[in-house]
Structure 1
């Protein structure tokens, strides 16, 4: 097939998108596809004409545009199939506040939160106690995220988010370990347990994208019944948001066995260190198998529509 690989973009996660796109391009070519790479930052005006000239679009973008549904909506105007979630579902999942509202509505455990859209008054504090997380409401890859321990740190942490041009979401620290669960089709893949290896205390940007910085254990060494509960919750969230194709749910697992869903990613990373390929490998799928399956699911969804 003629495959349009859409990557780059202009979000704060541009470099991550380009990094993963290299691996995707290699895989697509090994699968026998004729690949055209389109960097959205420089080729936005040609997206629709290029999409019309291709049989399928593989989207490897992070943040906005990409995870916000805009590219998917554009592709649909010219009838070009693509992998993953559609426009509305992508928007719901990218917006942390909105997605958490959907989780709560569907009985899925998630941490309390507050949305902050402008710098509050000097004496303002959130309704929950420190330590807390301050992060961009629409961002990913942990860019702009801070874990703070006092009111004195609050305003600088908020300013860090506002400097990225985003509103902030604040959540209390939930003590536990991070577990992630990919969905492929209508099936939950093996869980991965994540242990940050430095003093960040959480799975930050460096832990995610620098080889050897974080320990990622797959399958996660947790009780099988608990693993099943997390997989069921991930699939429930996937369906509640209206997602298709694939996604990845990130959880904090507390010592008493409660799993709090942090967020669901609709365009999970495809770098050599990415989590979904690791989990797929544990399920017996090579990287090429995974890419081929994503194309198959995207074509099936387009045919159903």
Structure 2
């Protein structure tokens, strides 16, 4: 079996993608798979249409790998691939749309307002920010509607910080999600499999320095304390696991996903984010979850690519 890892791309998360790709490639090689790594460039389609590639594992983070475009290309080329279909990826990638789908299916997420950058210019930023802060209350979380790795994310604790957070957010996209900050225990839940066969792995509790799990904290060791498995009661662990599985199935995700959840003070699980292409770097959460489950990475990664290859295009 020849597996091709797609990593790199032109998003802000290029370096993370390459690190993820290299880690997965090493594990697959150790499992006896013929594996190569390719960037998304002019040589990609010729490389995919030679007939030598049995399965592709897209590990591009950001729009190019998670908004459904790359998946749609692979579907057009009839190349089997790991992960969620293009249609489901488009829905999961847009945080505002995903929140609406989850809410419609009874899955709780923090209250939020979505605003485009253009509207701030047209009606006056300060007045709008006053109204938003009054409606949702402080503290708030501001993040791009489309994006990953917490790029552009800020936690806003005072009204004076809100404008700065919006500017930071709009540097990474033209649409902002302004969300009520929920106090509680943050748990990253990894799910493997599809449909009725999907199963949740042990959660990873994330304790961030100053409460901000931003890009720098995620990918630079030392700023985050992780607990895998999460320090939860059996009942709490069941709540977050069931929530992650409901999200995975409701959003029609496939093969693997990571659902970031906050377990609030009332014991309710609220969904913060959905990741269809979880990071696989040395500090990423999914590999920690796999290790907590006592599963060798190479064996699980082999099973994932073998299943995708057998499924076909």
Fold match (TM-score > 0.5)? yes
Supply the distance in 2 between the matched residues of 1:204 and 1:51 (Cα, whole angstroms).
35
Give the paired residue count.
298
Supply the distance in 2 between the matched residues of 1:95 and 1:131 (Cα, whole angstroms).
23
Which residue matches 1:123? 127
| 1:191 paired to 2:194 | no
Q: Is the 8 A contact 1:141 1:204 kept in 2?
A: yes
Which residue matches 1:7? 7
Q: In the alignment, which of 273, 297, 303 is matched to residue 287 of structure 1?
A: 297
5 Å-filtered alignment, 1:175-214, equals 175-185=183-193, 186-196=198-208, 198-199=209-210, 201-214=211-224
1:167-197: CA deviation from partner (whole Å, max 9, x where unpaired): 110001111121111101111111111111x
Query: Once superposed, what is the RMSD of the aligned Cα atoms?
Result: 1.5
Supply the distance in 1 between the matched residues of 2:251 and 2:310 (Cα, whole angstroms).
19
Which residue matches 2:237? 227
Which residue matches 1:299? 309
5 Å-filtered alignment, 1:3-82, equals 3-40=3-40, 43=41, 45-53=42-50, 54-82=53-81
Which residue matches 1:93? 92
Q: Which runs of 4+ in 1 moved over 4 A?
A: none
TM-score in terms of structure 2 length: 0.91
SS at match of 1:278: helix
Supply the distance in 2 between the matched residues of 1:239 and 1:203 (Cα, whole angstroms).
26
Q: CA deviation at 1:284?
A: 2.0
Supply the distance in 2 between the matched residues of 1:165 and 1:265 (Cα, whole angstroms).
18
Q: Is the 8 A contact 2:145 2:173 kept in 1?
A: no
SS at match of 1:164: coil
| 1:166 paired to 2:174 | yes
Q: Is the 8 A contact 2:3 2:305 kept in 1?
A: no
Supply the distance in 1 between the matched residues of 2:79 and 2:176 (Cα, whole angstroms).
34
Q: CA deviation at 1:47?
A: 2.2
SS at match of 2:155: strand
SS at match of 2:29: helix
Gap regions ≥5 residues in structure 1? none
| 1:272 paired to 2:272 | no
Which residue matches 1:107? 106
Q: Greater CA deviation, 243-252 or 288-297? A: 288-297
1:218-253: CA deviation from partner (whole Å, max 9, x where unpaired): 111211122112111111111111111010110111
Q: CA deviation at 1:263?
A: 1.4
Q: CA deviation at 1:300?
A: 4.1
Q: CA deviation at 1:214?
A: 1.0
Supply the distance in 1 between the matched residues of 2:174 and 2:143 (Cα, whole angstroms).
9
Higher helix share: 2
Q: Is the 8 A contact 1:52 1:79 kept in 2?
A: no
TM-score in terms of structure 1 length: 0.93
